[in-house]
Amino acid sequence: MAATLTFNTAFDPQTGNGVSLAPGLVRVTAPNASAYTFTGTNSLLIGHERLALLDPGPDDPRHLAALRQAIAGRPLEAIILTHTHRDHSAAAARLAREFTVPLWFGGRHRLSRPLRRFEINPLARSCDWDLVPDRTLADGEIITAGDMTLSVHTTPGHCANHLAFGLGDDLLSGDHVMGWNSTLVAVPDGSMADYLASLDKVIALPQRRYVPAHGGEIMDGPAYAQALRAHRQLRNEQVVAAVSRGARSVGAIVRAIYPSQSLLVRRAAGLTITAHLEYLQALGQVQLSRRPWGLRITL
């Protein structure tokens, strides 16, 4: 049985300060707290005497100054991205020019599936469409990051080019697994089928502690990821139950499952519920017809 899913929102980011998480791993949290980023994006400096920077975060002068202070004059050899949502990548091009270093990530931003008729990508403005890697990282690669070694793991789901990285006993999990909340999966940018498969993938990895891009570390990452998977399966069941009781739109399903949540929470929930619906459609458990005013859902 999977562990009960419990979110940890008691996290002190020490925004702007370098926080040592392990030898050769330092976190600097950006001042971009929001309902979607929690306390802000965690940039990670990897290495001792020679460094790599993972997820440089927003192009914010305060954050850039904090990163320069944490780098402290040591050679920076690469900027690496878990993915190309702008809260992770907006500062990447500027810092790559400043330090004359290459950008490494999982390829240009791309949709998990093509846009369909009448469809608008709700995350279009949050994506770094024009950023081009100097090196496209591939699943299973072993790369040198500063003076340390990372293993590369493709983890699509939150978005198509998402990567996680093994660093010794730690998994740098980006937005794929976070302890403060479940991950937003919004089609067509993301895919629920890919997200669930990527959860299975990281659960099977040897790393135990997960270091996410928002919030604090997850000490038993595989158990937490199993709880996330069970949570998503429960949502699948709740969606089918809501449709069986007569819900015929995404809004009706959201009202049935989230009757008392705030408008902001329900908006995000609607995006992920749509991803659940597409997953369930592929399994033959619901039927979807796309219309100019939204999806019509039946069993």
The pLDDT, as a whole number, for residue 130 is 97
Percent pLDDT > 70 in the chain is: 99
The pLDDT, as a whole number, for residue 293 is 86
The pLDDT, as a whole number, for residue 1 is 47
The pLDDT, as a whole number, for residue 259 is 93
The pLDDT, as a whole number, for residue 226 is 98
* Phi (first) and psi of residue 82, to 5 degrees: -75, -35
Q: Cβ(176)–Cβ(191) under 8 Å?
A: no
pLDDT digits (tens, 9 = 90+) for 48-77: 999 999 999 999 999 999 999 999 999 999
Q: Where are the beta strands (DSSP E) in the chain?
A: 19-22, 25-29, 42-47, 51-54, 76-80, 103-105, 135-136, 142-145, 148-154, 163-167, 170-174, 209-212, 287-291, 294-298
Domains of the chain: 19-230 (3.60.15.10), 233-298 (1.10.10)
Query: Is residue 175 over pLDDT 70?
Result: yes
Q: Which two tokens stand for residue 132?
A: 């081009």
The pLDDT, as a whole number, for residue 121 is 96
pLDDT digits (tens, 9 = 90+) for 8-24: 999 999 999 999 999 99
Q: Cβ(134)–Cβ(145) under 8 Å?
A: no
∠ Cα 7 8 10 (to 5°) = 150
The mean pLDDT value for 264-269 works out to 91
The mean pLDDT value for 18-31 works out to 98
Query: What residues does 149 pair with on adjacent strands?
Result: 144
Query: Is residue 136 over pLDDT 80?
Result: yes
The pLDDT, as a whole number, for residue 160 is 98
Confidence of residue 3 (pLDDT cuts 50, 70, 90): low
Query: Is residue 257 over pLDDT 80?
Result: yes
Query: Is residue 140 over pLDDT 90?
Result: yes
The pLDDT, as a whole number, for residue 263 is 87
Percent pLDDT > 90 in the chain is: 95
What's the maximum distance between 2 C-alpha atoms anywhere in the chain? Answer: 62
Q: Cβ(33)–Cβ(40) under 8 Å?
A: yes
pLDDT digits (tens, 9 = 90+) for 218-238: 999 999 999 999 999 999 999
Q: How far is CA 98 from CA 61, 143, 159, 275, in A?
A: 13, 23, 28, 39
The pLDDT, as a whole number, for residue 4 is 81
